[in-house]
Amino acid sequence: MTDEVLVSVEGKAGRLRLNRPRAIHALTEAMCTAMIGALQGWRGGEAVEVVLVDHAEGRGFCAGGDVVQASTDAAVAHAFFHEEYRLNHLMFTYAKPIVAFMDGVTMGGGVGISQPAKYRIATENTLFAMPETGIGLFPDVGGGWYLSRLPGAMGEYLALTGARLDGAECVALGIATHYVPSDALPALKAAIIDDPRSLDALLADAGIEPPAAGIMARQPNIDRLFAHESYEAVLAALAADRSDWAEATLRTLGKKSPQSCKVSLRLVLDGRDRVDFADEMRAEYGIAVHVCQRPDFREGVRALLVDRDNKPVWEPATPDGVTDQMIDTIFAPLPDDQAWTPIGR
């Protein structure tokens, strides 16, 4: 176990509290293992009726996965992604209700431990994003499943640009199920702990009408410009539009890894056809293993998280340098003895 996740049972509520405030609670392999152990221990019997997932102190819910070491050591990366995806799948298939409190930064790995929850609470502090194309990765932890099920071309837009959403926008898109003011969360958690069988009513009573969701005003443009099956077509549509928003979006995409953008777009398109979340996790693990073998992941982490010069040198540097054969190789299934497996298999 690790003190970076505080595990407890209060009343009939199991509690998982992320506790790495200096890293905005970014997940490590040990944290994933601790959460898996707790969830498995609570699966049977009646001692725990509901699971609450939040953060202990400091700002943000979870800023992602701690990928710095993973970017330079393939064995570390494989072990981390395998365990993280097992946690994601366990939460997705968990029989008891999970409530995730997305109060603050909820990115990458934070998405992976909030979106499987039946109840996902946004607040005025929520800042949601899947920004992986900026570090040479892709929106994993089930991103291919969740983003592909958003309305219109919103999934393509969020996957490619890493655009940030506030709490109201998360509710409007179904990423969050409830909007609760942050100062009401302590009382809500205490009420759930006191009476978990009234969970639905307690959440309904605590929730308020969120502010207007700005992203919805942009939905028609997003659907028109991002509903394409090739990254080049998206770029061409944006270039032809000539609006200020389209030009700003083009500049944003120009900073992303071309390889990651092509991988992310295909991930969302493929995700729409999947009917089993385990298949999604298996595919994403294979993609992660292949992406870790290529230079952009290491370079993106260096530029944005280590040296922080924000000047990644992508390889290939342009979309036309990322060939269909390269993408097919990245998406090729792993051999059975190397493939991801859920817990118990």
User: Catalytic positions, please?
Assistant: 65, 109, 132, 140
| Contacting residues for 160 by C-beta, under 8 A, at least 6 apart | 133, 226, 231, 234, 253, 256, 261, 264, 265
Closest C-alpha to 85, from 59, 113, 60: 113
- Ordered strands of the 5-10 beta sheet: 5-10, 13-18, 50-55, 98-102, 119-122, 178-179
Sign of the Cα pseudo-torsion (168, 172, 175, 178, in order): positive
Report the alpha-carbon distance of residue 54 to residue 38 in Å, rounded.
14
Q: Beta strand pairing status for 165-166 and 127-129?
A: antiparallel
Calpha distance 63→21 (Å, rounded):
10
With CA atoms as reference, report the closest residue to 11 among 42, 54, 57, 56.
42
User: Are 259 and 290 in contact, with CB atoms under 8 Å apart?
Assistant: no
Distance between alpha carbon 226 and the CA centroid of its chain, in Å? 20
